[in-house]
Structure 1
Amino acid sequence: MPRQLQPTTGSSSLASRSRPANYFDQTIDHFPHSPRYASHVKGTFQQRYFVETSYYKPGGPVFLYLAGEGPIDTDTHLDSSLITQFMKEFSGIGVVLENRFYGTSVPFNSSTTDELLYLATEQIIADFDVFARKAKLPGISNNINAPLTPWILYGGSYPGALSAFTIKTYPKTFYGAISSSGVIHGQLEYPQWYDPIQKLAPQDCVGSINDIVDKIDSLVQSNNQAAIHQLKDIFGLTALKDIRDFAQTIAFPIGGPFYYPTNTWQEINWNPRFGHQDFFEFCNNVTDINAAPNTTAVDRVLAKYTGGEAWKNLGSYAAYIKRAVLPLCASGDYDSPECFGTQHPAWWANTTSGAERSYLYSTCTEFGAYQAAPPHGQKSLLSRVVNSTYTQQWCNWAFPKGK
């Protein structure tokens, strides 16, 4: 369940016409008698949603799109997505509901560890149940609440898991649910996220990256600091002190998967109007047979560390990172937490509310799926220094154990 840190995200960013936001008075704690919630916060928060009724005819169903790990400001899914097709086909209503702790749907003014306890999956899916049974949608005079009217859930990736969990937990409320790529079980490391790319992406590009990654890891295993410094310099990233930050940064065009600032394989979309082709641009550059001589010359710079064997396409790979990724750091301070450096405990511990902190909490406490490379012996698209301990350190800094 990767998270792209941009205002819009390829496969989940469908441009929409302007529509007014609506708000539902949602309970903060649905389980006031559960021992899990020691503080048992009382009260409500305003849960934001968008609704589309243009295709509705009395008796039609309601399609509830679960927005998941981001605000719904530019992401309504009600104009040109699969939900639109459902609304047209079945004369239904479309609703996009913002997850608690995202966008403006925040129960508290901050996101301390104790407050984020109310981001638990059971609280989230209880929101969906209450909303479906009690929300009064604007412009609709008749009773369209569940279960009298069929409500169908739809979500993909993390929201796909929420969709599956909700229909399992509240089968008497919801008529059905669609779970697209639902991550329905937790696991600590999730190298399988890269499997589709390894198998289906252009194989000349994949093979080049696999070979470069193997060579990078040989330098790391040899602990040749001079060689590693030279490698970072080729990519313009000598400022990154931690080799894992370097490995993650040069893997951004492929995908984090925890977070990444560029469009990747995941942003390829069945609808070319909303998808992004950046991944293929990346691969075309990596394997450019017409690369300039000064670019291809870089392929031999590190050959002395690999038995004289050239690093095929290293120059083209590095040139792309310099051109497409490094400019995303406006300050030029690549090791800063605002750019590509992650080794900043105070930055992770900041309790200001935000999508990144909320998503990290769910990752650290319930879902796992930490970004990780496949182990040695398997082909990998990013250096194997990126493993579960990398993300776990962020979790420890962000949500320290109580004293």
Structure 2
Amino acid sequence: MTRYYISDTYYRSGGPVFLLMGDEEALDPNLFMTTQMSTNFAQQFNALAITLEHRYYGQSMPTPNLSVSNLRYLTIDQVLRDVATFIDYLTTNLSLNGSKWVVFGGSYGGTLAALVRATYPNKTAGAVASSAPMEFVYDFKTYLKAVSKSLGTQCSQYFGEATQELEEEFKSPEGWYTIQQQFNLCDPFNGTDTLDVYQFMDQLTNNIMGAVQYNNLGLYPSIDTMCSIMANTYGNSRPLDRYIRVFNLFSGGSQCNDFEYDDNIELMKQTGLTDQASTSGDRQYLYESCNQLGWFQTTDLRKGQPFGNDIPIKLYAKQCADIFGPKFTAHTIRLNVKNTNRSYGIRNINITNTVFINGSIDPWRVIGVLHDINNSTRAILIKGTSHCQDMLESAPTDPPSLVKARHMIVQQLKSIGKNK
């Protein structure tokens, strides 16, 4: 059973169908109804707006649980077939013959939107792919280099100095106790437990990654807020002291922070549909990452990023094996991702009538499409914007670069309407 929502607010008979791809989380109908696709674009083109939930997320569960055996049906190929079947189903049942289908999506959903267009050019007229990673890489070590660039040279240097001070604390029991107290950890910290150190640094760095990726979207502290704290040397505070203040913006300070590797593994091994790992989509997406996608964000690029070297690719390879079984090794995961890229990477597909949009601050841009591919497949890079920002509802505070980009998307949609 696949869940979907339809909005016919602006639809007129014979108008196009705009299909928003679901991604690695449950569908949010309120978010769907406020996207550019459902509001601005649907109104301008009298389009029927639809969104389709990704199999294995939200309420679209084809199996009674998320055992490893059942997750074998969670593949890109199956998702693309779901979309093709869905298009045929609605075309027949809603009498949409003659209506052109344009596929939209953001982030991983943007990847899928582009792949639907490339795979089924006879069923779709075009695609709009926002912040879509279009290269599948096992060790995505350039991500943190992009984070560093978006933070700026000085701010990135402060984070680097703080990381060096933190690594010094790893070396002694006194430092371990300081870390437990300052970061409000649930359990005593042991700097000789390599996996716990990796898990701690992964969680700590993920905060900064999320803030940069979604800068100024109200989900996390902004880059300006974080960098202002890191630059404030009042009272001769150490960079690490300031890093802790940044960390507290994310943690809220009300509950202790669980950093232990084994606890995370036990959480992610949950297979029930109502278990936390399933309802959040974390188990499913990690399986996709281990099995096909890759995109593991590591510190393996030693130069050009300020976050040390304690988030290695071997951490993720071990997670895949510990959660999904011994068939997932570093070798098999790397091969899985290589095969995915051979089938679906941007250099290996033929695609027309598509527009790829990226924000200049978004770290995912480094594996996105930043240049036109052909006369009908264009790229737009929006200065000063973050991940999928172009998809959101228009606001009076939108920068001119974003307003201009949305106008360019409309022009591309007009062009798609004229082409096949």
CA distance in 1 between counterparts of 2:149 and 2:203 reads: 22
Q: 1:93 pairs with 45, 48, 68, which one?
A: 48
Q: Counterparts of 1:64 and 1:348 in 2: how far apart (Å)? A: 31
Asked whether the 8 Å contact 1:374–1:380 carries over to 2, the reply is: no
Q: 1:352 pairs with 258, 272, 283, which one?
A: 272
Confirm or deny that 1:154 pairs with 2:104. Answer: yes
2:144·2:297 contact (CA, 8 Å) conserved in 1?
Answer: no
2:294 to 360, 365, 368: 368
Preserved contact between residue 52 and residue 95 of structure 1 (Cα < 8 Å)? yes
Shift of 1:251: 1.8
Instruction: Report the CA distance between 1:49 and its aligned residue.
Output: 1.2
Question: What is aligned with 2:119?
Answer: 169
The residue that corresponds to 2:321 in the other structure is 396
Return the TM-score normalized by structure 1. 0.70
Quote the offset at 1:398 in angstroms. Answer: 1.6
In structure 2, distance between residues paired with 1:142 and 1:111: 33
Distance, in Å, in 1 between the alignment partners of 2:262 and 2:203 is: 13
Contact 1:240 1:246 in 2 (8 A): no
- The structure where helix makes up a greater share of residues is 2
Structure 2 counterparts to residues 302-381 of structure 1, below 5 A = 313-322=239-248, 324-325=250-251, 327=253, 330=255, 332=256, 334-335=257-258, 340-344=259-263, 345-353=265-273, 354=278, 355-376=281-302, 378-381=303-306
Say which SS state the counterpart of residue 129 (structure 2) adopts.
strand
Q: 1:342 & 1:110 partners in 2: Cα distance? A: 24
**Helix, strand or coil at the partner of 1:244:** helix
Contact 1:346–1:397 at 8 Å: present in 2 too? no
Structure 2 match to 1:196: 146
| Distance in 2 between residues matched to 1:111 and 1:80, nearest whole Å | 31
Relative to structure 2, which stretch is displaced further, 114-123 or 343-352?
A: 343-352
- Cα drift, residue 80 of structure 1: 4.0
2:7 — aligned with what?
52
Query: Do 2:140 and 2:296's aligned partners in 1 also have CA atoms closer than 8 Å?
Result: yes
* Paired residues for 1:32-71 under 5 Å: 46-71=1-26
Give 1:394 deviation, angstroms. 1.7
Change in Cα spacing, 1:158 to 1:120, as seen in structure 2 (3 Å) is same
Are the equivalent residues in 2 in contact too, given 1:244–1:385 (CA < 8 A)? yes
SS at match of 1:264: helix
The structure-2 alpha-carbon separation of the partners of 1:247 and 1:395, relative to structure 1 and needing over 3 Å to count, comes to same
How far 1:175 sits from its partner (Å)?
0.9
**Whole-angstrom CA distance in 1 between matches of 2:224 and 2:37:** 25
The counterpart of 1:382, out of the listed 307, 318, 340, is 307
The 1:114/1:248 distance shift into structure 2, 3 A limit, reads same
- Please give the alpha-carbon distance, in whole angstroms, between the structure 2 residues aligned to 1:102 and 1:240: 35
Other-structure match for 2:32: 77
Residue type at the aligned position of 1:143? S
Note the alpha carbon deviations across 1:192-243, whole angstroms, 9 max, x for none. Answer: 22233211224432220022224445676xx556545545544344734411
- Name the stretch that deviates more: 344-353 or 65-74: 344-353
CA distance in 2, matches of 1:371, 1:232: 25
CA contact (8 A) 2:103 2:124 kept: yes
Q: 1:103 aligns to what?
A: 58
Deviation at 1:281, TM superposition (A): 2.4
Q: Deviations over 1:96-134 (max 9, x none)?
A: 111010001111121011111111110011111111111
Q: Is the 8 A contact 1:248 1:382 kept in 2?
A: no
Answering whether residue 70 of structure 2 is matched by residue 144 of structure 1, we say no
What code does the residue aligned with 2:20 have? Answer: Y
Q: How many residues align?
A: 314
CA contact (8 A) 2:4 2:52 kept: yes
> Do 1:186 and 1:367's aligned partners in 2 also have CA atoms closer than 8 Å?
yes
Deviation at 1:55, TM superposition (A): 0.9
Q: What is the alpha-carbon distance in structure 2 between the residues aligned to residue 93 and residue 74 of structure 1?
A: 15
Shift of 1:249: 2.9
Letter in 2 for 1:375: L
Percentage of matched positions with identical amino acids: 22
Partner SS, residue 370 of structure 1: coil
Q: Which amino acid aligns with 2:213?
A: Q
Find the aligned partners of 1:250 and 1:401 in 2 and give their Cα distance.
28
Residue 189 of structure 1 aligns to a residue in which SS?
Answer: coil
Instruction: Report if the CA contact (8 A) 1:210-1:379 is conserved.
Output: no
Q: Is the 8 A contact 1:53 1:94 kept in 2?
A: yes
Cα offset for 1:286?
Answer: 2.2
Alignment CA distance shift 1:326-1:251 (3 Å): farther
Q: Distance in 1 between matches of 2:67 and 2:305?
A: 36
In the alignment, structure 1 residue 265 sits paired with structure 2 residue 225:
no
Unaligned runs of 5+ in 2: 191-195, 328-420
Distance in 1 of aligned mates of 2:45 and 2:314: 48
User: Contact 1:52–1:94 at 8 Å: present in 2 too?
Assistant: yes
TM-score by length of 2: 0.67
Give the match for residue 183 of structure 2. Answer: 235
Gaps of 5+ in 1: 1-45, 256-262, 300-312
Q: Deviations over 1:125-145 (max 9, x none)?
A: 1111111111269xxx86115
**CA deviations over 1:8-61 (Å, ceiling 9, x no partner):** xxxxxxxxxxxxxxxxxxxxxxxxxxxxxxxxxxxxxx2111111111112211
Residues 65 and 154 of structure 1 are in contact (CA less than 8 Å); yes or no, is this contact kept in structure 2? yes
Corresponding letter in the other structure for 1:89: Q
Asked if the contact 1:232–1:246 (Cα under 8 Å) also holds between the matched residues in 2, the reply is no
For 2:51 and 2:222, locate their aligned partners in 1 and report how far apart those are by CA, in whole Å: 27
Shift of 1:352: 2.0
